[in-house]
Amino acid sequence: MISCCIFDLDGVIVDTARYHYLAWRELAAELGFELREDQAEAVKGVSRMASLDIVLRAGGMEGRFSDEVKMAFAMRKNERYREFISKMTPSEVLPGVEDFLRDLRANNIGIVLGSASKNTRAILEQCRIGLWFDAVADGTMIRHGKPDPEVFLKGAQMVKKDPAECVVFEDAAAGIEAARRGGMRSVGVGKSPLLEAASMRIESFEGFTFGELRRKLD
């Protein structure tokens, strides 16, 4: 039985992964190295500070900076990222997402957002999609980032759903693992080969229906 769908935000509802990458790349350039897009794949789904460590490692700079300096780096990256998201519009909601949410609503399925991002609220408002969600669990409410299941369990708890009845939609390996650890099934969204651990996969939401989800997972 499926009674609730929990959605990651970045890379599932909107394509902010691109903005995260561009903002990290600018920080890397300031530090004197080039961050390639494939190196930034690993920041998908993980918290801001854990992402910074991944970026510094890509530049061979891990362990070089104090926590204070690292906080300043993360803040600088976030300022740049906020500039990108302040220009986002509803047209950036990924194809098929709203039709799928409408389908879930028609089937009386809980709709929850579960994102590591502390910028979740700003993005939902900017893209005018916040009203779809019965509950929003985000990076401001949790202590442990993905692959820890905390954000998904928190989301399920907010709508009083049993994790076994929840399906998580994720574009990142860390999120698929978080769903598994939380006792939830998962749908890997996108083409990344890193999503093979998901219960099922879709390339995008275009043409995807709740009926298909139920047929495949129930």
Residues that bind Mg ion (CB under 5 A): 8, 10-11, 45, 171-172
Give the E-state strand segments of 22-148 in sequence order: 110-114, 135-137
Provide the Cα torsion 52, 126, 133, 218; round to 10°: -60
H helix or E strand, kind and range, residue 169: strand 166-170
Alpha carbon distance 72, 67 (integer Å): 9
Give me the residue label for tokens 């005018």.
128
Question: Which residue lies nearer to Mg ion by CB, 11 or 163?
Answer: 11
What single letter denotes the amino acid at residue 28?
A: A
Coil vs helix vs strand at 6: strand
Interaction between residue 185 and ligand BG6 (CB under 6 A): no
CA terminus-to-terminus distance, the chain:
6
Closer CB to ligand BG6, 116 or 129, in the complex: 116
How far apart are the C-alpha atoms of 30 and 48, rounded to whole Å? Answer: 18
Kindly state the smallest distance separating residue 104's Cβ from ligand BG6, in Å: 21
We find the least distance from the C-beta atom of residue 215 to ligand BG6, in angstroms, to be: 29
CB of 218 to Mg ion, least distance (A): 25
Among 43, 55, 129, 189, binds ligand BG6 (CB under 6 A): 43
Residue 126 interacts with which of Mg ion, ligand BG6, none, CB < 5 to 8 Å by class: none
Interface region with ligand BG6, contact rule CB under 6 A, candidates 97-105, 117-125, 160-168, 184-192: 117-125
Kindly indicate which of the ranges 30-38, 58-66, 109-117, 185-193 contains the residues binding ligand BG6, using the contact rule CB under 6 A.
109-117
Residues that bind ligand BG6 (CB under 6 A): 9-10, 20, 43-48, 51, 78, 115-119, 139, 172
